[in-house]
Amino acid sequence: TAANLAQGMTPNDALMELMVMIDAAKGASAHRIIAVMPWYGYARQDKKSAPREPISARIVAKCLEAVGVDRVLTMDLHAGQVQGFFDVPLDHMTAMPMLTQYIADLGFDEEPVIVSPDAGRVKTARNFARKVGTHWAVMEKERPAQQVAEIGYIVGDVKGKTAVLVDDMIDTAGTLTAAARTVLEEGAKRVIAVATHGVFSGPAYERLAQENSGIERIVVTDTLPQRPGAPENIEVISAARTLADSIRRIFTDDSVSEIFAGENQLF
């Protein structure tokens, strides 16, 4: 349910196409139908943040169930409550094992510190730091307006270290660039960012260029197709193996959580 500029697809086109394929499979007497959605469209609208707002993530769940899906497979939801919008089973995967392995394999000259850009990702940062075998820190963030982020201060020591910013997605990159600026001001030697979903909407590419953001490397998975023009410091790694293992385990009635050592609920 992601946009694909190369194919001229909007998120709504992709969602409609998914529902049409589910209906076609149902009409062809499929035994069961599983929707594999590496990126869950409208996931960020998971609650009311102002009166008379829709809960769009719930609408997507209702649409999929109404058209006849039997199971949903998705990766790194923005918020755990999206799982509760479904009556059918939802398998939640995470790219964190891939990303922690990537960071562990880099071999830093300076000690790394895992940094959560806001309080909502503290648990993720803590688990990430434990897997890498290092310390973690957290930032205090405020949103004075929608898609505007202001980083107040950092709790933890980043001075002289490699700061690894960890988040579930990078959208307009306002939070990430503000966080990078703060850790560099606090004395971090260099900054690396990792996230599952590279949305990169609006001014993200311009903001994330190394000369503008100070971020040496930005690592995301291929859950969303990237639009052209990405700066050189963005690196995309494949989530195909994790997806394939999860699908195989579903069809052999094995445990999906076993792939992630039971840590695929990171909320």
Strand ranges, E, within 174-222: 190-198, 215-221
CB atoms within 10 A of CB 160: 11
Cβ contact 154:116 at 8 Å: no
Task: Choose the catalytic residue: 26, 48, 141, 159.
Answer: 141
What DSSP designation does 169 have? E
**What is d(CA 53, CA 45) in angstroms, rounded to the nearest whole number?**
9
Say whether 47 is catalytic.
no
Look at residues 108, 200, 118, 94 and name the one whose alpha carbon lies nearest to residue 163. 108
CA–CA separation, 183 and 127 (whole Å): 20
Tell me the one-letter amino acid at 219.
V
Q: What is the C-alpha separation between 56 and 52, in angstroms, rounded?
A: 12
Positions annotated as catalytic residues are 141
